[in-house]
């Protein structure tokens, strides 16, 4: 008798093409936050594999590149690779296009399956549900209602982004000139971005009229997390941050940089 055991169960992870791209973005974003290169990531993966005496957790340069490159050149992520990447990928809070918010206080080291699910249909469905859910109210300062400031009311151009943030804070009875209240908004920024936090303070308080493009993405992520409203995208803030010149000057709209 020669017995063979075969498992014909369907893969627990139903990956999609968009999901694979999300996995790749999460890896690339974590590399960027860490200040690493692709080679540095591979060396760290190899070192961990060696320390744990688990050779299966080591990845070749070509494998790392297939996951990290834009777009990734993989169709079905391998469990081995995801387990190897997981300890070095910060947990994803939200992904909106190329905007990714990470929780840099923890990685997927103890839960590689949570990392894998970023690439699945389940993640997409849960993300859809989150966009329909009204913002939670964990204290009496948050009305709990879904809030989205009308762009016509906020206006565009000089100071518009700051006005938008102040309006959302006021809707929650928060005063941006009060340090504690201001920190309620910027707590969604990574802990090691204090320079950007101070730049945002100047924007919120109206000391700076136009937002540099490199800050727009950060602010969009913070607004989405603060309001739990997925409509606050980078594209929307770029529109709000647009200069509208008077026709009498013979100029058309232009974006401030």
Domain extent listing, the chain: 17-132, 151-255
Q: Which residue has the tokens 């590399």?
A: 31
pLDDT at 133: 36
The 8-class DSSP code of residue 120 comes to B
How sure is the predictor about 48, in pLDDT bands with cuts at 50, 70 and 90? very high
Q: Is the peptide bond before 205 cis (omega within 30 degrees of 0)?
A: no
Kindly state the percentage of the chain with pLDDT values over 90: 28
CA distance 5 to 3: 7
CA distance 30 to 136: 28
Q: Is the pLDDT at 65 greater than 50, yes or no?
A: yes
CA distance 32 to 30: 5
pLDDT at 249: 35
Q: Is the pLDDT at 135 greater than 60, yes or no?
A: no
pLDDT at 51: 95
CA distance 139 to 141: 5
Helix (H) or strand (E) holding 254: strand 254-255
Q: Is the pLDDT at 26 greater than 70, yes or no?
A: yes
How many CA atoms lie less than 13 Å away from 89 in the CB half-sphere? 28
Q: Is the pLDDT at 9 greater than 70, yes or no?
A: no
CA distance 158 to 255: 11
Q: Is the pLDDT at 242 greater than 50, yes or no?
A: yes
| Predicted confidence (pLDDT) per residue in 11-22, tens digit | 567 888 889 999
Beta-bridge mates of residue 185: none
Q: Give the mean model confidence (pLDDT) for residues 152-171.
A: 80
Q: Which residue has the tokens 């296009």?
A: 97
Q: Give the mean model confidence (pLDDT) for residues 19-44.
A: 94
| Predicted confidence (pLDDT) per residue in 69-113, tens digit | 988 998 889 999 999 999 999 988 777 777 787 888 889 998 898
Q: What are phi and psi of 183, to 5 degrees?
A: -65, -20
CA distance 119 to 99: 16
Q: Give the mean model confidence (pLDDT) for residues 152-166.
A: 77
pTM of the entire structure? 0.52
Beta-bridge mates of residue 230: none
pLDDT at 142: 43
How sure is the predictor about 7, in pLDDT bands with cuts at 50, 70 and 90? very low
């Amino acid at each position: 008798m020669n017995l063979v055991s075969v498992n014909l169960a369907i893969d627990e992870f139903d990956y999609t093409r968009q999901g694979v791209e999300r996995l790749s973005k999460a890896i690339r974003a974590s590399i960027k936050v860490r200040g690493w290169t692709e080679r540095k990531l591979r060396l760290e993966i190899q070192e961990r594999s060696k320390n744990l005496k688990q050779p299966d957790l080591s990845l070749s340069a070509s494998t790392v590149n297939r996951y990290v490159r834009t777009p990734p050149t993989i169709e079905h992520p391998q469990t081995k690779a995801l387990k190897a990447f997981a300890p070095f990928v910060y947990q994803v809070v939200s992904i909106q296009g190329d905007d990714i918010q990470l929780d840099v206080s923890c990685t997927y080291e103890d839960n590689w399956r949570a990392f894998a699910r970023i690439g699945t249909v389940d993640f997409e469905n849960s993300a859809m549900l989150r966009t329909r859910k009204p913002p939670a109210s964990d204290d009496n300062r948050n009305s709990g209602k879904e809030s989205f400031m009308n762009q016509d009311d906020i206006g565009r151009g000089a100071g518009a982004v700051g006005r938008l943030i102040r309006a959302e804070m006021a809707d929650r009875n928060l005063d941006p000139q009060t340090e504690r209240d201001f920190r309620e908004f910027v707590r969604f920024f990574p802990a090691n971005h204090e320079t950007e936090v101070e730049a945002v303070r100047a924007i919120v308080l109206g000391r700076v009229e136009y937002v540099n493009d490199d800050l727009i993405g950060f602010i969009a992520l913070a607004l989405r997390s603060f309001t739990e409203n997925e409509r606050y995208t980078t594209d929307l803030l770029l529109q709000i941050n647009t200069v509208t010149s008077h026709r009498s000057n013979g100029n058309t709209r232009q974006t401030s940089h």
